[in-house]
């Protein structure tokens, strides 16, 4: 957990919503100078902070509509801090909660150097990252349609498909294999949607790949040298990590990727593991997928996996490989060196 610890003359806490925002501005002694509810309008924000722009810092809790405020503060040369929503217990754990109280709490946490920070993703690559996330959303829908076809085939106890229906060329005449006309119509609708999703996904992948070749061609080439990391996983890692130097240590990186279990101890006693879902869910998925693909056609990796399974079990063995891949990616991006299988298995 990182806290914003810089000193300023004025501190502004914003309880931001889609159509309104409650601003609280304090000086460095905690005196409230401005405390009002405003519409989410750039001119309204500029007017509110006009008298306090000298050495001002603005903080807002991480939610879906913070982009415009972060960009506006950048244009106005005002320091901007994004609060980590899951760590801001002072806001969510209060007995009484409303926008006025929350905005003051944000300003007070900021002034006391106790505001937990989230990463403010740069504007230049933010839209590409969001497009890639949207592509993953469509991919999940495509997978649901394929599962529905498979389950329907099993439901009516029909013979298995001769070829993999995930390929578009193998879905020709698929609905005709179901004798019931209503079931056939349902499968035909699934196939039509699959074809649409297929065309959309190809276009999105190409657009994101072109942007990655502009934004960070070195990282794209380095990640592709790792067995199990293909085009899509490399793109996810590039745009979810953005800058590897924002992680001072390897432990910070693998924790951000959800590749470790956080320990909870008190008075020398372990109290289980909590908050394991704090971190980046997309990187967790990417490294979990990479761990499975890493074993495909890789004799050394399969032998290493078998040794881990005999010692820890199958589930934990894959988790260990995913974490080792995370460590390898961190080292590769830090040192600008390709994947070295000898070092990977030697360690």
The reported pLDDT for the residue numbered 149 is 96
SS3 track for the chain: CCECCCCCCEEEEEEECCCEEEEEEEECCCCEEEEEEEECCHHHHHHHHHHHCCCEEEEEECCCCCHHHHHHHHHCCCEEEEECCCCCHHHHCCCCCCHHHHHHHHHHHHHCCCCEEECCCCHHHHHHHHHHHHHHHHHHHHHHHHHHHHHHHHHCCCCCCCCCCCCHHHHCCCHHHCCCHHHHHHHHHHHHHHHHHHHHHHHHHHHHHHHHHHHCHHHHHHHCCCCCCCHHHHHHHHHHHCCHHHCCCHHHHHHHCCCCCCEEEECCEEEEECCCCCCCHHHHHHHHHHHHHHCCCCHHHHHHHHHHHHHHCHHHHHHHHHHHHHHHHHHHHHHCCCCCHHHHHHC
The reported pLDDT for the residue numbered 88 is 81
Whole-angstrom distance, CA of residue 258 vs CA of residue 276: 7
Q: What is the CATH number of domain 10-118?
A: 3.30.420.40
Could you read off the pLDDT of 292-319 as tens digits, one per residue?
Answer: 999 998 999 999 999 999 999 998 999 9
**How many percent of the chain have pLDDT more than 70?**
97
Could you read off the pLDDT of 45-76 as tens digits, one per residue?
Answer: 999 999 999 999 999 999 889 999 999 999 99
pLDDT greater than 80 at residue 277: no
Whole-angstrom distance, CA of residue 149 vs CA of residue 132: 26
Whole-angstrom distance, CA of residue 47 vs CA of residue 69: 14
The reported pLDDT for the residue numbered 63 is 87
Minimum mean pLDDT range among 28-32, 40-44, 174-178, 277-281 = 277-281
Q: Which residues, listed in sequence order, are joined to residue 60 by a DSSP beta bridge?
A: 14, 82
Residue 249 CB-density burial (10 A; 0-12 exposed, 13-18 middle, 19+ buried)? exposed
pTM of structure: 0.89
pLDDT-derived band at 23 (thresholds 50, 70, 90) equals very high
Q: Where are the domains of the chain?
A: 10-118, 125-215, 223-346
The reported pLDDT for the residue numbered 272 is 63
**Placement of tokens 């959309």 in the chain:** 200
**Placement of tokens 């403010």 in the chain:** 120
Q: Which of 38, 100, 30 is nearest to 69 (CA)?
A: 38
The reported pLDDT for the residue numbered 347 is 61
Could you read off the pLDDT of 77-103 as tens digits, one per residue?
Answer: 999 999 998 888 767 677 788 999 999
Let me know: does 322 contact 254? Beta carbons within 8 Å.
Answer: no
Let me know: does 114 contact 91? Beta carbons within 8 Å.
Answer: no
Question: Residue-wise over 181-210: b if at least 16 C-beta within 10 A, else e?
Answer: eebeebbeebbeebeebeeebeebbeebee
Mean pLDDT taken over the chain: 93
The reported pLDDT for the residue numbered 85 is 85
The reported pLDDT for the residue numbered 117 is 93
The reported pLDDT for the residue numbered 274 is 65
């Amino acid at each position: 957990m990182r806290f914003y610890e810089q000193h300023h003359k004025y501190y502004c806490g914003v309880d931001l919503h889609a159509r309104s925002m409650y601003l609280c501005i304090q000086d460095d002694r905690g005196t409230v100078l401005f405390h009002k509810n405003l519409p989410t309008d750039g001119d309204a924000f500029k007017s509110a902070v006009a008298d306090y722009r000298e050495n001002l810092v603005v903080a807002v809790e991480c939610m879906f509509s913070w982009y415009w405020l972060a960009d506006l503060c950048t244009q106005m040369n005002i320091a901007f801090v994004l609060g980590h929503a899951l760590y801001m217990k002072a806001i969510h754990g209060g007995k009484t909660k409303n926008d006025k109280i929350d905005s003051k709490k944000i300003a007070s946490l900021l002034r006391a150097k106790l505001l937990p920070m989230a990463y403010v993703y740069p504007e230049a690559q933010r839209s590409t990252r969001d497009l890639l996330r949207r592509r993953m959303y469509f991919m999940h829908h495509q997978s649901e349609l394929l599962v529905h076809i498979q389950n329907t085939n099993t439901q009516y106890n029909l013979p298995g498909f001769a070829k993999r229906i995930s390929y578009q060329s193998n879905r020709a005449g698929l609905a005709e294999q179901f004798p019931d006309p209503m079931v056939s119509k349902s499968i035909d609708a699934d196939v039509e949607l699959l074809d649409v999703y297929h065309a959309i996904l190809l276009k999105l992948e190409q657009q994101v790949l072109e942007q990655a070749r502009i934004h960070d061609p070195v990282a794209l080439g380095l990640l592709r040298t790792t067995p199990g990391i293909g085009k899509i996983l490399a793109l996810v890692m590039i745009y979810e990590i953005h800058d590897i130097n924002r992680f001072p240590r390897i432990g910070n990186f693998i924790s951000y990727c959800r590749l470790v279990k956080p320990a909870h101890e008190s008075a020398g006693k372990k109290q289980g593991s909590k908050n394991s879902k704090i971190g980046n869910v997309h990187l967790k998925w990417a490294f979990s997928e990479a761990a499975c693909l890493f074993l495909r056609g890789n004799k050394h990796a399969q032998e290493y996996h078998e040794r881990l399974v005999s010692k820890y079990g199958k589930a934990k063995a894959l988790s260990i490989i995913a974490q080792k891949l995370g460590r390898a990616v961190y080292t590769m991006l830090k040192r600008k060196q390709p994947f070295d299988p000898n070092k990977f298995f030697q360690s």
